[in-house]
């Protein structure tokens, strides 16, 4: 048996692949375009592992996806592949439309074609799990209840709008064609292999390099935070036991304002790697102009996933954030590699004459 993971060289996808192969012998075909956010170094420990087949390619390449599904007799697809950074979607939405909407559509078409050719038992057992975000639900006021699966979609950024569009397509392929799909909408993840353009790894890195820790606006934007390995365990659980056609919200019950998150990071760094001058890293906090249209609050009600499938996060914010800081302190080579652009030139060299 084999699963196809898309976007498995990115932050969450690579954590998922590593955790999957640590827990199971079921092979993984990993399809990733290796955009700036995809990093094969995340998967270095699988280099000689025959259970992991890496293919550089686009989810929008119908022929390639169909070939992979057929050749590897795939029994499930987990779709992580996406453009994922809200700020980048504001500067240039085009890539988000291409991958998150058109790419997801072509992936669905290839899966539909493959699935139609399976026998009844294989058809029934097959799953496509689409990984999405809580951002599709829009922004909450301070006293609003957390997002439930029944909340209206009100995406506010090109990123969340493109993810919302892909969620709708996934839903439609179930209702129209009977494709056995599952969708998860998760809150903000943090943990190992997080690309250092996002708040938590950016602040850890800037703190250590003596640079400002940029806080958008007043820093009171509230997010629910989930340790990435808990997101991965939720996806495994939904894939295993989720009801076909259903949506499951995934969250950590950890609502925190951005400023609080950064103060927590500074306190842990003060303890684990104090500044040479004895001052707190919090001195480096700097307020910068807010992101246009910045959503004020996201909060997730993960009660359905807990009740129906018995899933619970293993980490609290306090334990997860400490593990994350420790990971970044131990993996400065990984961060420097990403930041230096070395791995981009390595990729160009490595893939110049290769085909998936
Ligand atoms: N990071 C979060 O906090 C979070 C929270 C909820 C949901 N999500 C969703 O989870 C998924 C993964 O997020 P992430 O943070 O790991 O993102 P990421 O940007 O770190 O990784 C995305 C991966 O997808 C690959 N990719 C991009 N376009 C592709 C294409 N056309 N074909 C094949 N591969 C392509 C990239 O190379 C990269 O490896 C996304 O769908 C995102 O919307 C993320």
CB atoms within 10 A of CB 6: 29
Name the CA dihedral angle for 334, 339, 340, 344, rounded to a multiple of 10 degrees: 80
Q: What is the pLDDT of residue 351?
A: 61
Average pLDDT over residues 75-88: 96
The one catalytic residue among 135, 230, 255, 315: 135
- Give residue-wise pLDDT tens across range 5-25: 999 999 999 999 999 999 999
Q: Which atom of ligand 1 is nearest to the CA of 85?
A: 19
- Give residue-wise pLDDT tens across range 224-247: 999 999 999 999 999 999 999 999
Q: What are phi and psi of 24, to 5 degrees?
A: -150, 155
Residue 78 alpha carbon to ligand 1 centre in Å: 12
Q: What is the pLDDT of residue 196?
A: 86
Q: Are 251 and 146 in contact (CB under 8 A)?
A: yes
Domains detected in the chain: 2-193+226-253+299-315 (3.40.50.720)
The one catalytic residue among 159, 173, 298, 343: 159
- Give residue-wise pLDDT tens across range 59-80: 999 999 999 999 999 999 999 9
- Give residue-wise pLDDT tens across range 143-193: 999 999 999 999 999 999 999 999 999 999 999 999 999 999 999 999 999
Say yes or no: CB of residue 139 within 6 Å of ligand 1: no
Sign of CA dihedral 159, 162, 164, 166: negative
Contacts for 259-263: CB closer than 8 Å, 24+ residues apart: 259/215, 259/218, 259/219, 259/220, 259/285, 261/199, 261/200, 261/203, 261/223, 261/225, 261/321, 262/199, 262/203, 262/213, 262/215, 262/219
Q: What is the pLDDT of residue 347?
A: 61
Exposed, middle or buried by CB within 10 Å (0-12, 13-18, 19+), for 43?
A: buried
C-alpha 110/C-alpha 263 separation (Å) is: 46
Say yes or no: CB of residue 103 within 6 Å of ligand 1: yes
Q: Give the position of tokens 């290796």.
A: 34
Q: Which atom of ligand 1 is nearest to the CA of 14?
A: 16
Q: Which atom of ligand 1 is nearest to the CA of 60?
A: 31
Confidence band (pLDDT; 50, 70, 90) for 342? low
- Give residue-wise pLDDT tens across range 99-119: 999 999 999 999 999 999 999
Average pLDDT over residues 306-315: 98
User: Does the model's pTM come out above 0.75?
Assistant: yes
Q: Which atom of ligand 1 is nearest to the CA of 81?
A: 24
C-alpha 105/C-alpha 58 separation (Å) is: 12
Q: What is the pLDDT of residue 318?
A: 97
Tokens linked to 25 = 């012998």
Q: What is the pLDDT of residue 356?
A: 45
- Kindly give, in sequence order, each residue whose CB lies less than 8 Å from that of residue 189, ignoring residues fewer than 6 positions away: 11, 12, 225, 226, 227, 228, 231
Q: Which atom of ligand 1 is nearest to the CA of 79?
A: 41
What's the distance, Cα to Cα, between the start and end of the chain in Å? 21
Say yes or no: CB of residue 34 within 6 Å of ligand 1: yes
Confidence band (pLDDT; 50, 70, 90) for 344? low
Tokens linked to 79 = 């779709």
Residues pairing with 190 in the sheet:
227
Residue 7 alpha carbon to ligand 1 centre in Å: 6
Residue 80 alpha carbon to ligand 1 centre in Å: 5
Average pLDDT over residues 25-43: 96
Q: Which atom of ligand 1 is nearest to the CA of 38?
A: 39
- Kindly give, in sequence order, each residue whose CB lies less than 8 Å from that of residue 182, ignoring residues fewer than 6 positions away: 127, 128, 129, 130, 238, 239, 242, 244, 245, 246, 247, 248
> Is 159 labeled as catalytic in the residue annotation?
yes
Confidence band (pLDDT; 50, 70, 90) for 341? confident
**DSSP label at residue 98:** I
Query: Rounded to whole angstroms, what are the CA distances from 186 to 25, 231, 248, 281, 313?
Result: 26, 7, 8, 30, 12
Q: Are 161 and 155 in contact (CB under 8 A)?
A: yes
The one catalytic residue among 32, 83, 134, 295: 134
Say yes or no: CB of residue 17 within 6 Å of ligand 1: no
Residue 293 alpha carbon to ligand 1 centre in Å: 22
Q: What is the pLDDT of residue 348?
A: 72
**Strands 52-56, 27-32: pairing kind:** parallel
Say yes or no: CB of residue 235 within 6 Å of ligand 1: no
Say yes or no: CB of residue 300 within 6 Å of ligand 1: no
Say yes or no: CB of residue 2 within 6 Å of ligand 1: no
Tokens linked to 67 = 């070939």
For ligand 1, atom 12, the nearest C-alpha belongs to 80
Confidence band (pLDDT; 50, 70, 90) for 340? confident
Say yes or no: CB of residue 155 within 6 Å of ligand 1: no
Say yes or no: CB of residue 231 within 6 Å of ligand 1: no
> Is 134 labeled as catalytic in the residue annotation?
yes
Say yes or no: CB of residue 191 within 6 Å of ligand 1: no
């Amino acid at each position: 048996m084999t699963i196809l993971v898309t976007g498995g060289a990115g932050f969450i996808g690579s954590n998922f692949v590593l955790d999957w192969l640590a827990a199971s012998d079921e092979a993984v075909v990993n399809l990733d375009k290796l955009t700036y956010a995809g990093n094969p170094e995340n998967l270095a420990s699988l280099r000689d592992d025959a259970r992991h087949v890496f293919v550089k390619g686009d989810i929008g390449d119908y022929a390639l996806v169909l070939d992979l599904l057929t050749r590897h007799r795939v029994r499930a697809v987990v779709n992580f592949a996406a453009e994922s950074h809200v700020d980048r979607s504001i500067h240039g939405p085009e890539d988000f439309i291409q991958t998150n909407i058109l790419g997801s559509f072509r992936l669905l078409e290839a899966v539909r074609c493959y699935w139609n050719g399976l026998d009844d038992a294989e058809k029934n057992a097959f799953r496509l799990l689409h990984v999405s975000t809580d951002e599709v639900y829009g922004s909450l006021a301070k006293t609003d209840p957390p997002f439930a699966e029944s909340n209206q979609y009100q995406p506010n950024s090109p990123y969340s709008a493109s993810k919302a569009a892909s969620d709708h397509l996934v839903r439609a392929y179930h209702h129209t064609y009977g494709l056995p799909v599952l969708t998860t909408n998760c809150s903000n993840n943090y943990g190992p292999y997080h690309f250092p353009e996002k708040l938590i790894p950016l602040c850890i890195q800037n703190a250590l390099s003596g640079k400002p820790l940029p806080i958008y606006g007043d820093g009171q934007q509230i997010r629910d935070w989930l340790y990435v390995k808990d997101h991965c365990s939720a996806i495994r659980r939904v894939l295993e036991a989720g009801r076909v056609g259903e949506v499951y919200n995934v969250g950590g019950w950890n609502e925190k304002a951005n400023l609080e998150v950064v103060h927590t990071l500074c306190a842990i760094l003060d303890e684990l790697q104090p500044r040479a001058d004895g001052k707190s890293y919090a001195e480096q906090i700097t307020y910068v102009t807010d992101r246009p249209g910045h959503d004020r609050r996201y909060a997730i009600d993960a009660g359905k996933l807990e009740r129906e499938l018995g899933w619970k996060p293993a980490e609290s914010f306090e334990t997860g954030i400490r593990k994350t800081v420790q990971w970044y302190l131990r993996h400065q080579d990984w961060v420097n590699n990403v930041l230096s652009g070395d791995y981009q030139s390595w990729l160009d060299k490595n893939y110049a004459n290769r085909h998936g």
